[in-house]
A and B are shown apart, each in its own frame.
Chain A
């Protein structure tokens, strides 16, 4: 009797620990929340869609709305009626337009969404693929006051981790910039300014390829079937549908950087190089630490020695010896000293 009671207690304790550790998706609460707030969520998603089209100067219609929200036309009509009654939207010649109020509302939702992504990227260790879906949930839950406090704590970030501007507390947003990667002529250079995070499968491919905002790319070959670009000394083949989700700003020849970059991790003990850029994929605490150690573009780095186990490698940076793991050194691009010197000599002889 007592024995079985005690076995039961033990079992329950173990189960409790398992739940605490593995924390299965709290799907029930999630589902209940969505159910109770489905109307507001729908309205906010509709406003986001309309804002997105307005921002990209695309027409928004009843059909595009129904398609974006995956609802039937009948429900879409009903939804637009509600939006009009609330004074958020007006329709004109079968086009849907945001009112002042509707735009302000949409930008509040977008502000929360993008701030939350920034927060996840900089201040947590959660994987990149989960940011968007988490922000999709958070945007309907967080109050704008909470979002403003969060922004203040993070130093009011102007951009989200995908390169999209975060609307200010006052609702300001800069005009969109750049062109789709598919529009970049062959041989031209551009800087990635934005990676579209929807649909998720395409975004996951972009992340897996190691593309990030701020990266310089060169269009090697653009055909309707296949697109090839070069970046940081590597070549990337892309499907056009994937490339269309990348926005670039064309770079003039003067602003163009070098093709002789390599990853810091490729250097061997004894090599010396100059840092050219640190990938945007290195962010938050991680990036700050590198800056603290004096690893900024222009810094001379000397590879000292590898650990007994082969992985962290010690580098001499500004007189100090610091250790970096390989996955960190992968995010730092450098130019080897020989190529720096060669370029300097070339410049001297030409003048």
Chain B
């Protein structure tokens, strides 16, 4: 099933003019960067995954096609990337299995870049997940997929404005026609190497009672772990009674998370 193409074969492929992309299929050993691929179901996440790795996961016009976790690899700009396709979820806040897998990977798996694939025709609903991801991680790229359909429906998405609002790169793509993949790769590489500094947006507009609780908890958390990049999100999880986070706080695992991530700690200082 897996189509591993050699470097030579791919350079001559007419479709992929991304000159310095080498698709590695499932060959993923000693990578430089780890990428997590998140997104709502039925946004073409698998198509993006396939476009990046050269693998062929089944895609279909149904939510919830991808059931098993997939991993693949590629080389871009001489950096070796490993890409992990997370289960498609609408949110990261409830206690379903899929969401836990995705959330645990984003928090404890420490991906260097998180690519959130969004459906341009349903941006509002997709922003729910994007905003939640940006609460957890500082380094993300939004892949605005299905742009052709958005255009067909007369929708125009101002991606530069969106990028400014979210504080992370936003790349419009049509993954099934391989449009925008080149730009997506460049953005991933820039965020991974640190040449693009993300300033992610944090959620606003919670109720006064909730804000009060969050502020107090964040203060206490900061006193304990001054460098925690996502204290607000951790506080929210504690309020939601998330046992995984409670345990991580007790064991000190949470305090360690930022230690090996220079970029994250720089961002939280700045």
Report if A and B touch in the complex (beta carbons < 8 A).
yes
A binding-site residues for B, Cβ under 8 Å: 151-158, 288, 291-294, 317-320
Q: Are B241 and A156 in contact (CB under 8 A)?
A: yes
Report chain A residues within 8 Å CB of B241.
155-158
- For residue B240, which residues in chain A have a CB less than 8 angstroms away from its CB? 155
Residue from A155, A292, A317 within 8 A of B90 (CB atoms): A292
Interface residues of B, CB < 8 Å — how many? Answer: 17
A-B contact pairs, 13 of them (CB 8 A): A152-B243, A153-B95, A153-B243, A155-B240, A155-B243, A156-B243, A157-B241, A288-B94, A292-B91, A293-B90, A294-B125, A318-B122, A318-B124
Closest to B124 in A: A318
When distances are taken between beta carbons in the complex, the residues of chain A under 8 Å from B243 are 151-153, 155-156
Which of A153, A156, A292, A320 makes the CB contact (< 8 A) with B122? Answer: A320
> What are the residues of chain A within 8 A of B94 when measuring CB–CB?
288, 291-292
Contacts of A154 in B (CB 8 A): 95
Minimal beta-carbon separation of A251 from chain B (angstroms): 15
Of the candidates A153, A155, A158, A291, the one whose C-beta lies within 8 Å of that of B91 is: A291
**B121 at the A interface (CB under 8 A):** yes
CB of B128 within 8 Å of the partner chain = yes
B159 at the interface (CB under 8 A from A): no
Chain B residues, Cβ within 8 Å of A157: 241
Q: A153-B243, A155-B243, A156-B241 are in contact. Are A293 and B95 (CB under 8 A)?
A: no
Which chain B residue shows the least CB distance to A123? B95
User: Can you name 17 extra interface pairs (CB under 8 A) apart from A291-B94, A292-B89, A292-B94?
Assistant: A151-B243, A154-B95, A156-B241, A156-B243, A158-B241, A288-B94, A291-B90, A292-B91, A293-B90, A294-B124, A317-B125, A318-B124, A318-B125, A319-B122, A319-B124, A319-B125, A320-B125
Cα A151 to Cα B243 with chains together (Å)? 9
- Name the B residues within 8 Å of A319 (CB-CB): 121-125
Distance, CA A317 to CA B91, complexed state (A): 16
List of 9 A-B pairs having minimum Cβ-Cβ separation, nearest first: A156-B241, A292-B90, A152-B243, A319-B122, A318-B125, A318-B124, A294-B125, A155-B241, A155-B95
**Complex Cα–Cα for A344 and B95 (A):** 38
Residues of B within 8 A of A288 (CB): 94, 96
Q: Which residues of B contact A151 (CB under 8 A)?
A: 243
> Measured between alpha carbons, how far is A331 from B243 in the docked complex, in Å?
30
The answer to whether A293 and B125 touch (CB under 8 A), given A153-B95, A288-B96, is: yes
Answer whether residue B32 sits at the interface, using C-beta atoms and an 8 A cutoff. Answer: no
Q: Is B165 among interface residues, defined by CB-CB distance under 8 A?
A: no
In the assembled complex, the Cα of A318 lies from the Cα of B125 at a distance in Å of 6
CB neighbours of B253 from chain A (8 A) = none
Determine if B104 is an interface residue (Cβ-Cβ < 8 Å): no
Q: Tell me which residues from 94 to 136 in chain B have a Cβ below 8 Å from any Cβ of chain A.
A: 94-96, 121-125, 128
* Cα distance A296–B95 in the bound complex, in angstroms: 18
What's the minimum C-beta distance from B39 to chain A, rounded to whole angstroms? 13
B122 cross-chain contacts in A, Cβ below 8 A: 318-320
- Give the distance to chain B from A253, nearest Cβ to Cβ, in Å: 18
B264 to chain A, nearest CB (A): 26
> Restricting to B216-258, which residues have a CB under 8 Å from any CB of A?
240-243, 246
A45 to chain B, nearest CB (A): 29
B113 to chain A, nearest CB (A): 25
